Amino acid sequence: MDLSGTPAVELRNVSKTFTSAKLGETLLALDNVSFSIQRGQFFVILGPSGSGKTTILNLVAGFEPPTHGQVLAMGKPIRGPSWQRAVVFQEHALFPWLTVADNIAFGLRMKEIPKRTRRDKVAEYIDVVGLSGFADKYPKELSGGMKQRVGIARALAVDSDIVIMDEPLGALDAQTRAEMQGELLRILQHEKRKTVLFVTHSIEEALKLGDEILVMSARPGRVKQVFHLSQARPRSILTDPEILQMNVELHRLLHRDT
Ligand SMILES: Nc1ncnc2c1ncn2[C@@H]1O[C@H](COP(=O)(O)OP(=O)(O)O)[C@@H](O)[C@H]1O
Ligand SMILES: [Mg+2]
């Protein structure tokens, strides 16, 4: 079967409601959301807090089913978590009792990758994310930026098609964050044609990284607009006239709600 035209991820008229067990109230988190992500794209979801960004990621990761509509990966309905869709969490979620190397090896171990290959993969990704010399350190010995590098290495090492990132740089200070944005671009160059689904609430971050930026409305989460960016990265978001114009529009779109 030729899947070359099939999107990596597709949401078709997806709604998600949560029901509070205590009050029996229902909350509409996503309302008729449709979009598709082409293979190899860096796809950014930008939206205010509570607009359903994490909910979308949870559906794509297969942690939860939609209430209505369909969520597809490589043309097939998502029925649960899969190695094909690796997740990098906002709070790096490392195991504190494992070293950097063992944290990165975790998914490979679960996948029952033979020890030798595992060792090579771990060494490769420690290098890719710039943590050479830190293989035997524990998470508590690392800075925030370094922990997030471990989280990224762990997600990449399992050879997924799609990497899902939920505000992965959100907990970092401004300077480390800017540095990690550049690092992320560099790291992804090592990954041939990996599809990335990336959530942020930073307009600047979206403009620096995204091939496509999908803007969500405040709750209930709906698709407001999708922007396409073809500028090469790293981008100068302060001098490119098209990006400057998008910056103005994104501010207008995001702040009109509040
Ligand atoms: N498991 C859940 N149970 C009940 N409500 C939830 C649950 N997960 C998310 N929500 C609600 O759905 C809305 C969207 O949440 P979320 O996807 O986390 O937004 P975002 O990531 O954009 O900040 C919020 O109002 C949130 O409180
Ligand atoms: Mg969130």
pLDDT at position 84? 92
Q: Is residue 153 part of a domain?
A: no
Does the pLDDT value for residue 95 go beyond 80?
yes
Q: Is residue 26 part of a domain?
A: yes
Which tens digit of pLDDT belongs to each residue from 43-52? 999 999 999 9
C-alpha–C-alpha distance, residues 215 and 232, integer Å: 21
Does the pLDDT value for residue 258 go beyond 60?
no
Band of the pLDDT at 186, cuts 50, 70, 90? confident
Determine the distance separating the centroid of ligand 1 and the alpha carbon of 32, expressed in angstroms. 16
Q: Which CATH number covers residue 194?
A: 3.40.50.300
Determine the distance separating the centroid of ligand 2 and the alpha carbon of 170, expressed in angstroms. 10
Within 10 A of 225 (CB to CB), how many other CB atoms are there?
A: 13
Side-chain-facing half-sphere of 172: CA atoms under 13 Å? 24
Regarding beta strands 26-37 and 76-77, do their DSSP bridges make them parallel or antiparallel, or are they unpaired?
unpaired
Determine the distance separating the centroid of ligand 2 and the alpha carbon of 57, expressed in angstroms. 9
Question: Residue 249 corresponds to which tokens in the numbers above?
Answer: 């529009």
Does the pLDDT value for residue 204 go beyond 90?
yes
Query: Judging by beta carbons within 10 Å of its beta carbon (0-12, 13-18, 19+), is residue 171 exposed, middle or buried?
Result: middle
Q: Is residue 118 part of a domain?
A: no
- Residue 166 CA: nearest ligand 1 atom is 21
Does the pLDDT value for residue 252 go beyond 90?
yes
Q: Tokens 């991820």 correspond to what residue?
A: 9
Protein residues near ligand 2, an ion, with CB under 5 A: 53-54
Q: Is residue 102 part of a domain?
A: no
Band of the pLDDT at 132, cuts 50, 70, 90? very high
**Cα 37-243-168 angle, rounded to 5 deg:** 50
pLDDT at position 248? 96
Q: What percent of the chain has pLDDT over 90?
A: 75
Strand partners, 26: 19
pTM exceeding the 0.75 threshold for the entire prediction: yes
| Higher pLDDT pick, 190 / 94 | 94
Determine the distance separating the centroid of ligand 1 and the alpha carbon of 16, expressed in angstroms. 10
pLDDT at position 219? 87
pLDDT at position 257? 52
For ligand 1, atom 6: residue with the closest CA: 18
**Cis preceding linkage at 234, omega within 30:** yes
Which tens digit of pLDDT belongs to each residue from 12-61? 999 999 998 777 889 999 999 999 999 999 999 999 999 999 999 999 99
Cβ proximity of 61 and 86 under 8 Å = no
Task: Report the number of distinct structural domains present in the chain.
Answer: 1
Full residue range of the structural domain in which residue 39 is found: 9-84+160-256
User: What average pLDDT is seen over the chain?
Assistant: 92
55, 89, 257: residue to mutate for ligand 1 pocket, most atoms within 8 A of CB: 55
Within 10 A of 244 (CB to CB), how many other CB atoms are there?
A: 14
Sheet with 9-19, edge to edge strand ranges: 26-37, 9-19, 68-73, 76-77
Which tens digit of pLDDT belongs to each residue from 136-178? 999 999 998 899 999 999 999 998 999 999 998 988 889 989 9
Q: Is residue 52 part of a domain?
A: yes
pLDDT at position 28? 95
Cβ proximity of 219 and 29 under 8 Å = yes
Q: Is residue 127 part of a domain?
A: no
Does the pLDDT value for residue 3 go beyond 70?
no
Q: What is the 3-state secondary structure of 78-93?
A: CCCCCCCEEEECCCCC
Q: Tokens 């350190």 correspond to what residue?
A: 137
Q: Is residue 142 part of a domain?
A: no
Mean pLDDT of 204-225: 95
Q: Is residue 211 part of a domain?
A: yes
Backbone angles phi, psi at 154, to 5 degrees: -60, -40
* Ligand closest in space to the Cα of 46: 1
Within 10 A of 190 (CB to CB), how many other CB atoms are there?
A: 13
For ligand 1, atom 11: residue with the closest CA: 29
Mean pLDDT of 196-222: 95
pLDDT at position 192? 73
Mean pLDDT of 81-87: 93
Determine the distance separating the centroid of ligand 1 and the alpha carbon of 50, expressed in angstroms. 6
pLDDT at position 2? 58
Mean pLDDT of 200-206: 93
Band of the pLDDT at 1, cuts 50, 70, 90? low
